[in-house]
Structure 1
Amino acid sequence: MLDFRRWVKRLFTVDDSILDATFSLGERENGMKGPGGGSEGDEKKSAGKPDKPNEARDDDRDDEQKPLSLQKPIPLSEWAKKEGKREVVRGGSEPDAGDDPIPVSLDSLEDMLNKTFTLPQNKDIIVRHLTIGLPEPRRALLVFVDGMVDKVVINNFILEPLMLLASVRPDTDSGTKDMERVLRTLVPGNQVERVSKFRNAVKQLLMGNSVLFIEGLGEGLAVETKGWDTRSVSDPKSEQVIRGPHEAFTENFRTNTGLIRARLRSSRLVTEIIQVGQTTKNDVAVMYLKGVANPKLVEEVKRRVNGLSLDALIDSGLLEQYLEDPPTTLFPKILSTERPDRVVAFLVEGHVALLVSGSPYALVVPLSFWSLLHTPEDAYLRWPFGSFIRVIRFVSLLIAVLLPGLYIGVVNYHPEMIPTDLMMAIAASRETVPFPVIGEVLLMELAIELIREAGIRIPSVIGPTIGIVGALILGQAAVQAGIISPLLVIVVAVTALASFTTPNYNLSFAVRVMRFFFIALAAAFGFYGVTLGLAAVLGNLVSAKSFGVPLMSPVAPHRHSNPDIVLRGQAYEQELRPEYLRTGDSRMQEPINRRWDAWSQAIRPQPAKEGSRVDDTGANRRKDDSGARGQGQDRGNGESGGEGGGKDS
């Protein structure tokens, strides 16, 4: 018994000599000076003493052994308290040139480049030496990052004009400065910027541009030469549709912004670029429609993005976690999508979109829960079909969350709520099953999760095959072995199919986690537990917010909105922007947007606008009709007058 206690005590103790901050190679190097390894204090002490080789050798041996000496193990709780008080030391930051100007001498400039980019060890930073044939030939440096530039552009539009055409000087440039002449006549780039600070030159290089430095000028020219290989625009992977655009975002930042611009050709579309990440320096685009998006919402988004202090921002998924409100719910609070047409639809409504360089997904804020169950295809189909698909989707969401829990509640607690024949069939199918119902359900649910995860991680060629064949083989083998009942296989299969209808990837994760939550509640309390769980989830949804907007808007709190929540109305009825966004322009289209439709004109009369082509046509048509009626009336009067004249005569 004493040995067992000693073993447990040793298990919960920590050897502090290994984890202590003093045991580090960096501190040993700081305390060493010269090849002898002695510190400055040791050298001062030994300076006034006679040299004793044996004693000095012993002292050196003692100094070498001191950092490796073991200390007495301490309890884990004491070590944790000690670790909590230690200061975090950060190192390895990038060399900062500050606001230093670009030196006039190319030799000094090259020294700064060597120090900043660790040259010549850094092999992908190319420094090209050349001579420009200005009136007085001058040395120059062309610096770029290999792999991030288009070398054809560099050769044909930078090096060739500078080295072959620079000696030809027009008479009109006699009074022009050399850098201005190079900018105006010798560098035919579409985007050329003059940089005077070394920091800005480094920034341009890391963005994929080439920077030209000329001896004696003290500034550089940043030329647009981006040209790294990227994936072309392809079909969406996670938001596939049958009817609608088949284009998705790529990892190219400017391609993504261009896909949005191509669909939203408005001068009010604003794209603000914010750089995030001290090491990665990723560009984050904040896109919104000026005059439509709420200015307070735009400022809040920019405040959160500017307030991020981090080293790396690899993907938009990380930005989503940094920007969202405190995670009080499993449901997502920021919408992520890979479809440009969906982003455009949200921008028109008054939302704000975020794009991250290197990420094929866009973020949309704020988010309403109902948008998680919508797809772009709903708007492209006629309203009866879109509404029918949405009803199926909402019912599938309830099935995916509640069906296993309801099965457990019926079998364990409430068998009287199902028909007697079905109850007897369930009891007969479970006679040979050695596990309780909760064990059965958990076993099958975990098997489904394993198959789902395996189908994603293995190569795409055999992924679907593994998923289908694995599910069939496992289910059939488990039933034949008597481990699970046949009815449970049906329940789990229907649940898995229902979960696949969830259109949003992040929402599907929330559904999978909540399913186990309701399984546990049903196993403990039956239908009462399921009811309490539903009340808790609904209360959590109602209290959650996305950028200050209630997540359940416009249902809770209720706001007047378009018929586009669960059921989708006619396309010409989608007149208003969401009221919960407090947009600058609340109307997306006029109440009468089909002016040729006599039925809508009669039901909802609206005065015509002046200057519109349709309005003018309608006005002319009404004028012609009134003229025709007048002519007919005059003709009738003439005929009656003739008759009267005849009578009079």
Structure 2
Amino acid sequence: MDHIEKNLENNIQHINNLFHQTSDLVVRKLKFGMEKSEHAAIIYIDGIIDSEILQVFVIKPLLNFTKTSEKNNIINLVNEVIVSPNVQTVTTFQEITDAIVNGKSAILFEGHDIGMIVETAKWNERSIEEALGERTPKGPVIGLTEKLKTNINILRSMIKSPKLCIENKEIGLISKTQISVIYMNGIVDKGVLEKVQSRLSNLSVNYIIEDRIIEEVIEGQKSIFNLNKTTERPDVLASALYEGKVGIIVDGSPFAIITPSLFIDAFQTPDDYYLKAGRVTTRFIRFIGFILSVYLPAIYVTLENFHQNKYSQKVVKSFFSDGELLPAFWEMMFLLFLLKILIDATFRIPKSSIILLSLVAAIVIGETAVTAKIIHPAGLITIGITFLTSFVIIYRGLADAMATMRFLFLLIANFFGFTGLIAGTTILILYMTNLKSAGVPYLSPLIPFRYEELKDTLYRGDLKSLLNSKHSYPDNN
């Protein structure tokens, strides 16, 4: 049975069966009209609807409804008396179940094969809070929340323009999740938008809990690099939309997906545009930090394995092996492994235990390991600098890629030295030139070189010219 019947009891029974007799499905029967001759039932899920809205704007107007009319005209009259900004009529049970699980209330009538859907949702959500992962010393501090409508509300408050377009889609076979594709009409790159819409239209999954599946679909290829950017800051999303990019927000996720995302985006932060200082030096320092984080352990291993004989005995003892148990390569691997455990454990244990964990880690990884001649002090300093520099851009999409490259270059350096590192870097650059984010070359505007787009890459250009310029992307073809 797909369509609503005229028998009210049969309809109620069928909906109960569709929800497998769940105990929080409420059926509120009532009589209304002249001499209470009309029979209806309001069906909703308890706990996700606003009972006050239902009582004041739906039930009370119906009970006070006393007009006489022809039987066929009752739906139109009820539609007039219900005090709700969003009322729609439906004819199928699929429409009713979809509405009920989204916090709406369904109204069915005896003798009618048409139902009504009323907006009554009331979802519990946390209040708007500071964006914890992308903090800045100046500028807006609010972050996105888990509710899609709240996030759209925040974004609309920042972009007060009719050019802002929201395309809502529902994805999921078992449980439907709403996502919004967001762009600025007339500004968005049409090729990017078409690529995103095409890939999303081909997505078929049972359910969506997190936005990672959406990221993978939009990326369209496997890579160690993130070909999309995620942000919890609405101002970052707004800025990306003004640049002609596309944003995707998934209901239930406090992060927005931005595409295309280019390699150079990982070195840009919101405070670059809020602060006067550092327009030239800040991004250069971040790039140096990226290089050190990826290559420093490999360089240390190369110097110890292949170039010790070029230095005096005093220098060798100070910076390289001095009777330690582990050679340089295994020192690096051991320390990277321990620090990876430390980082993972930091996000798993209760906050009250973090200080204790840090104390134990400092004793085990630091003083004790050096005193016991397991690792060399210079090796510990090398790994310390590696992790400090990695945190400069760890929240901007390159953390996983840096960890993978660090391990690969460490392995290459152990066997092939600087020659292997040069060859590996060349292969890496060739690999990156073949990556595309929603059809846009990942290394753009460096490769292919586009001079007009360099004003916001390794340095931040004049704000007025940036705000008034139109960004463009290389042809998808």
Q: TM-score when scaled to structure 1?
A: 0.70
Task: Judge conservation of contact 1:141–1:212 (CA < 8 Å) in 2.
Answer: yes
Aligned with 1:348 (options 242, 267, 270): 242
Q: Which has the higher contact order (CA 8 A, sep 6+)?
A: 2
Partner SS for 1:218: coil
Amino acid corresponding to residue 80 of structure 2 in structure 1: R
Partner SS for 1:177: helix
Counterpart position of 1:157: 57
Counterpart position of 1:45: none
Q: Deviation at 1:234? A: 0.8
Counterpart position of 1:467: 358
Q: Deviation at 1:319? A: 1.2
1:166 aligns with 2:60: no
Alignment of 1:619-638 (within 5 A): none
- Partners of 1:310 and 1:250 in 2: how far apart? 24
Cα 1:433–1:423 shift into 2, 3 Å: closer
Deviations 1:332-373 (A, max 9, x none): 101111111111001011111111111111111111111122
- Partners of 1:471 and 1:409 in 2: how far apart? 27
Q: Deviation at 1:419? A: 7.6
Cα 1:281–1:178 shift into 2, 3 Å: same
- Partners of 2:172 and 2:6 in 1: how far apart? 31
Partner SS for 1:126: strand
Counterpart position of 2:203: 308
Counterpart position of 2:38: 138
Amino acid corresponding to residue 299 of structure 1 in structure 2: E
Q: Deviation at 1:466? A: 2.2
Counterpart position of 2:103: 208
Counterpart position of 1:388: 281
Deviations 1:525-552 (A, max 9, x none): 1111111121121111111111111000
Amino acid corresponding to residue 461 of structure 2 in structure 1: G
Counterpart position of 2:159: 264
| CA radius of gyration, larger in | 1
Aligned with 1:540 (options 423, 431, 436): 431
Aligned length: 474
Q: Give the superposed CA RMSD.
A: 2.1
Deviations 1:222-263 (A, max 9, x none): 111110211221111221212111111111110111111111
Aligned with 1:178 (options 50, 53, 74): 74
- Partners of 1:214 and 1:295 in 2: how far apart? 47
Task: Judge conservation of contact 1:400–1:511 (CA < 8 Å) in 2.
Answer: yes
1:567 aligns with 2:459: yes
Alignment of 1:44-55 (within 5 A): none
Runs of 5+ unmatched residues, structure 1:
1-96, 584-649
Aligned with 1:285 (options 158, 162, 180): 180
Counterpart position of 1:358: 252
- Mean Cα deviation higher: 289-298 or 564-573: 289-298
Task: Judge conservation of contact 2:445–2:454 (CA < 8 Å) in 1.
Answer: no
Alignment of 1:192-203 (within 5 A): 192-203=87-98
- Partners of 2:313 and 2:283 in 1: how far apart? 34
Cα 1:531–1:354 shift into 2, 3 Å: same
Deviations 1:65-91 (A, max 9, x none): xxxxxxxxxxxxxxxxxxxxxxxxxxx
Runs of 5+ unmatched residues, structure 2:
none
Aligned with 2:85 (options 190, 201, 216): 190
Cα 1:533–1:272 shift into 2, 3 Å: same
- Partners of 2:240 and 2:426 in 1: how far apart? 31
Cα 1:265–1:562 shift into 2, 3 Å: farther
Partner SS for 2:453: coil
Cα 1:188–1:125 shift into 2, 3 Å: same
Q: Deviation at 1:317? A: 1.3
Q: Deviation at 1:506? A: 3.5
- Partners of 1:128 and 1:565 in 2: how far apart? 61
- Partners of 2:260 and 2:278 in 1: how far apart? 28
Counterpart position of 1:77: none
Q: TM-score when scaled to structure 2?
A: 0.94
Task: Judge conservation of contact 2:241–2:247 (CA < 8 Å) in 1.
Answer: yes
Q: Kindly, what percent of the aligned residue pairs are identical?
A: 28
Amino acid corresponding to residue 104 of structure 1 in structure 2: K
Q: Deviation at 1:421? A: 5.1
Counterpart position of 1:106: 8
Counterpart position of 2:262: 368
Partner SS for 1:385: coil
Counterpart position of 1:326: 221
Cα 1:418–1:216 shift into 2, 3 Å: farther
Partner SS for 1:457: coil
- Partners of 1:146 and 1:215 in 2: how far apart? 23
